[in-house]
Amino acid sequence: MAEHRLYLRPTGFVDAPFGLDGQVLRLAGGLTWFSTVEAIAVAGSARTGATLVPVERLDSFLGSLSSEAEQAARATLTRLTAPRPPLKLGQRAIPLDQPQVMAIINVTPDSFSDGGAHVGDPAGAAEAGMRMLEAGAAILDVGGESTRPGAGTVWEGDEIARVRPVIERLAAAGAAVSIDTRKAAVMAAALEAGATIVNDVSALTFDDQATPLLARHDCPVVLMHHRPKPPADQSGDVLIEVYDWLDERIRAAEAAGIARGRIIVDPGLGAGSFGKSVRDNLALVNGLSLLHGLGCPILLGASRKSFIGALNQEAPVARRLGGSIAVALAGAAQGVQIMRVHDAFDSVQALRVWRGLRDTALSPL
């Protein structure tokens, strides 16, 4: 019989903590408070039960567990509530006590959304990036290889040639730049050019030189869940699967010398090479708060993804802004710290309105 494991998912979110001492906890040091924890029992890869535990009864609930289970659950609770320190990006520090926008700059001919817009035009790509910064984006994510379904692998030399001149221009202008790549050689070239974050959709599994390279640097690293095909065990729970997989990748990175404090996790929304069905993507969005138990900032990349179109009469890529913002706001409500988006102005505006609502709730009359 499979051994049961316990997972803690914050829920029962409240507008403000005033007058609720002992009844609410702050989620990851952000602008969200929760009054209830869903304690999820899992055996193998499937849920076997769940209990809603009010925060005021959480201590006694944890005390009723076996010694080993209690110790693990209390460690998870500490990670759920611990503030996430600001991202140190060169001379800049980006606070993570509120949601931030990472804007996408594709320098590819075949990306699913805006492929070809900036190919062979690094000045134009950098100009577009500066407009995103003016709109309120905190980070610019530059990529030179598409991850759309069926996209081929780009030779690292070509990928470097695409991204390096863009990164150099943006870094020289003072932007915080992320490099979206799976390849160690591209990571090294981008960091040398001024990038300060590495965003790897393979979670350091594609190139065996990537992990030792990043162990020698001090930049933040995004580890994204992916699966080329659905798991053999179809009875499993996608949220638990993603949590466990990311936990394993975090531990592997730590063992190689990459501190947990430098790691950002991404649940990897999307079909194609990310391997999620529409139902999978929606279940992950519904359960995002569970991932705070990993103790790392969360990055959410839902912008213009196919599951949004699937929910609205197969809307084409260019007509998925409303759905993209809806998912971003669902993430913000669950404490997600970074939203990776194509539409910087609209996404920043939506999050500023969300922040205004939170600020008002947290400013008692």
Active site (catalytic) residues: 305, 340
In this structure, are residues 210 and 217 in contact, taking their beta carbons and an 8 Å threshold?
no
- What is the residue type of 124? G
Token readout for 195 is 């990038």
Q: Give the C-alpha separation, 274 to 255, whole Å.
A: 25
Q: Give the C-alpha separation, 243 to 9, whole Å.
A: 11
Q: Give the C-alpha separation, 97 to 82, whole Å.
A: 11
Please name the helix (run of DSSP H) or strand (run of DSSP E) that holds residue 11, with its range, or none: strand 4-14
In this structure, are residues 242 and 53 in contact, taking their beta carbons and an 8 Å threshold?
no
- How distant, in Å, are the alpha carbons of 77, 84, 119, 122, 123 from that of 108? 42, 33, 6, 11, 14
In this structure, are residues 164 and 189 in contact, taking their beta carbons and an 8 Å threshold?
yes
Q: Give the C-alpha separation, 142 to 275, whole Å.
A: 23
In this structure, are residues 25 and 33 in contact, taking their beta carbons and an 8 Å threshold?
yes
Instruction: With CA atoms as reference, report the closest residue to 140 among 90, 114, 106, 185.
Output: 106
